[in-house]
Amino acid sequence: MKRVTGIGGVFFKCKDPQQMKDWYERHLGLQTDEYGTNFEWRQAQDESQKGFTQWSPFPESSQYFAPSSKDFMINYRVENLSELVEILRLEGVTIIDDIEVLEFGKFVHILDLEGNKIELWEANDIEYDKIIAGRTS
């Protein structure tokens, strides 16, 4: 079974998320919205299928990365989240929460050996594409 298939997103804390998005837009050309931006790409196994990687600044006060005290969190894309969670549990990995199912995929959070919070995402790229298209129209 494949475990991680790619980077699903990079999330980080900053003093002023809007100023950070404006800076990245002005200097590096990122087209941002209220969530940050996303990078669209084509899946290697089937180039007709899109994939996405999210980039999002969070306010310093955000508790979304808790219990980690770090200022960043990485989201990894996975293929079968339910099966992977069971394997990780057997391997003694700390699973922070239950799998959450949203229209654009399934999510769960784990901790690595240094207490960094990691988000695992089984993407529903078709729905995610619709959501992204709705933000830009």
| Within a domain: 34 | no
| Within a domain: 37 | no
The total of structural domains in the chain comes to 1
- For the record, the structure tokens of 111 come out as 């901790």
Distance CA 11, CA 59 (A): 10
Domain region containing 93: 4-16+57-136
| Within a domain: 49 | no
| Within a domain: 30 | no
Question: What would the pLDDT profile of 30-69 be if each residue is shown by its tens digit?
Answer: 999 998 998 988 877 778 888 889 999 999 999 999 999 9
Decide if pLDDT at 137 tops 60: no
CATH number at residue 76: 3.30.720.110
Question: What would the pLDDT profile of 3-29 be if each residue is shown by its tens digit?
Answer: 998 999 999 999 999 999 999 999 999
| Within a domain: 46 | no
In the block, residue with structure tokens 């959501």: 131
| Within a domain: 95 | yes
Strands 105-111 and 94-95: antiparallel
Helices (H), the chain: 17-28, 81-90, 125-136
| Within a domain: 77 | yes
Distance CA 9, CA 37 (A): 10
H or E segment and range at residue 18: helix 17-28
Model pTM score: 0.86
